[in-house]
Amino acid sequence: MTHLKWFNTLLGSCANKMVRSPMSTWHHNISLKPPKPNESLRKHLECNRHTKVLLLFRSFLRKRPTFNSIDSFSLLYALKASPTQGKQLHTLIIKLGYQATLQLQTSLLKGYAECGNLLDARQVFDEIPSKNVICWTTLISAYVGNHKPGKALQLFRLMQMSNVEPDQVTVTVALSACAETGALEIGERIHAFVRSKQEMDKDLCLENALINMYAKCGDVVTARKVFDGMRNKDVTTWTSMIVGHAVHGQAREALRLFSGMSTRMEGDDWNSRSCVMKPNDVTFVGVLMACSHAGLVEEGKWHFRSMSEVYGIEPREAHFGCMVDLLCRGGHLREAYDFIMEMPVPPNAVLWRTLLGACSVHGELELAAEVRLKLLKLDPGYVGDSVSMSNIYANKGMWNKKIGVRNQIKQSRAPGCSSIEVGSGVSEFVTSDDDHLLVTDKRCS
């Protein structure tokens, strides 16, 4: 039995046998200096010796599972050492009567959020009587981190309505939610709030979040104004702006910005030269996207080679994908096929699918058939590949082949959706969707 399993078994046993102390309700309202037995827990935690924290905490439970041996500090250290064991520790916290201790509630909230357990995280949050900005920010971050930006923005609005003023961390997280949902109007209101708070610490993360929000929401002009007005910039700042220009078709501007970022001053290798900022792998995603959108095939190839040869950055899937897209947009389909076959890592279905789409555009039937065979091995159930292949046959007038491929389709594709920003929220719709609350209300009125 591993230490962690042993700890869980013992924790469950002690939690079931524990009886709440009559003094526990009084105890959690008093802030005391951590007792000396907890100093070891704290030191192990500070040194990231999480297993030792749990073993020592377990020894407390085994020797004297009483009010005197386990207090709120012990529980807090155990939670921080193993946030994934939140449910077991949560039970023990309730048994000992510490459920109203704000620090423990916040740690439980973080633990559930890290595990993606948003249901329990929200329940803990709702049970906190006096929620401070840390509690609100923790849950908002949990929604953003678990790909629920719409929920995060709803909670951010509720926070404001509850007269809890957000700090720079809260607004940074809220801006990232706006970027994910395309909620430009909400992002602009957050920006106006930031400008109105002179006392707010407008750190680099906040300014980077503003650039990212404006760029992803399509307002590249304002994103560039924020960028140009920043005194201090890091690689994230430069990269966000480069990617912003590239995504919105401003390829030349993106490449000019990259040139200004990585201007070589002296020498040929990185260690013997000076420049504004060393790019990272995400920067090159933006650069290659810009080359792809502008049809700059040779320049894109040069930047791809320079990643490893000049900057020592090994390409990953995103960079290979950009190169395949670059070659396909330029009409170099056979070269794209050879590039995929020579990749040092196994190609995924997305790369082959990019090439199949290009074959459909350029009418390359023979190559499309080869690519389709690759896709049948990687992802045989994907409907879009069959649709693309049937369209190629149709364009060539090969109707029997088209019908044959169409008859092989066993399921329909999931419909795409559109989002619209209304007031302080973002709603999603699909074609002929009449089940949305706003549509239903209008129909019934």
| Residues in a beta bridge with 426 | 421
* Domain regions of the chain by residue span: 1-130, 235-330, 353-413
By the 8 A CB rule, do 214 and 247 touch? no
For residue 60, give the nearest of 47, 49, 75, 50 by alpha carbon: 75
Tokens 């999603």 map to which residue? 428
**Sequence-distant contacts of 87-90: CB under 8 A, at least 24 apart:** 87/120, 88/8, 88/11, 88/12, 88/15, 89/11, 90/124
Q: Could you give the angle at which helices 86-96 and 72-81 cross, rounded to 10 degrees? A: 170
Give the model's pLDDT for residue 420.
66
pLDDT the model gives residue 390: 83
Tell me the CB-side half-sphere exposure of residue 284, using CA atoms within 13 A. Answer: 28
Distance between CA atoms of 419 and 146, rounded to whole angstroms? 19
For residue 422, which phi and psi values (nearest 5 degrees)? -125, 115
- The pLDDT of residue 428 is 67
Tokens of 172: 């940074």
Q: Which long-range contacts (CB under 8 A, 24 or more apart) does 343-350 make?
A: 345/317, 345/320, 347/320, 347/374, 348/317, 348/378, 349/375, 349/378, 349/379, 349/382, 350/321
Q: Is 286 exposed, middle or buried (0-12, 13-18, 19+ CB in 10 A)?
A: buried
- Residues in a beta bridge with 419: 428
pLDDT at 343: 94
Could you give the CA distance from residue 230 to residue 216 in angstroms, rounded to a whole number? 19
Predicted pLDDT of residue 58: 73
H or E stretch including 429? strand 425-429
**Nearest-5° Cα angle at 324, 320 to 327:** 135
Q: Over the range 22-48, which residues count as b (16 or more CB within 10 Å of their CB) and which as e?
A: eebeebbeeeeeeeebbeebbebbeee
pLDDT value at position 64?
56
Q: Please give the pLDDT value at position 211.
A: 97
Say if residues 424 and 186 touch (Cβ distance below 8 Å): yes
Neighbours of 417 (CB within 10 A): 11
Q: What is the pLDDT of residue 364?
A: 86
Residues 391 and 360 sit within 8 Å (Cβ to Cβ): yes
SS3 (DSSP) at 144: helix
- Sequence-distant (6+) residues with CB within 8 A of 89 are 11, 75, 78, 79, 82, 108, 111
* DSSP label at residue 20: -
CA-nearest of 291, 356, 353, 344 to 320 is 344
Chunked mean pLDDT (size 10), the chain, 445 residues = 49 45 38 58 69 70 60 73 70 75 83 85 89 92 92 94 94 96 94 91 92 96 96 94 95 94 53 66 96 94 94 94 95 95 92 92 88 87 79 80 71 61 62 59 47
Residue pair 203/166 in contact by the 8 Å Cβ criterion:
no
Q: What per-residue confidence (pLDDT) applies to 182?
A: 92
What is residue 432's three-state secondary structure?
coil
pTM of the model: 0.75
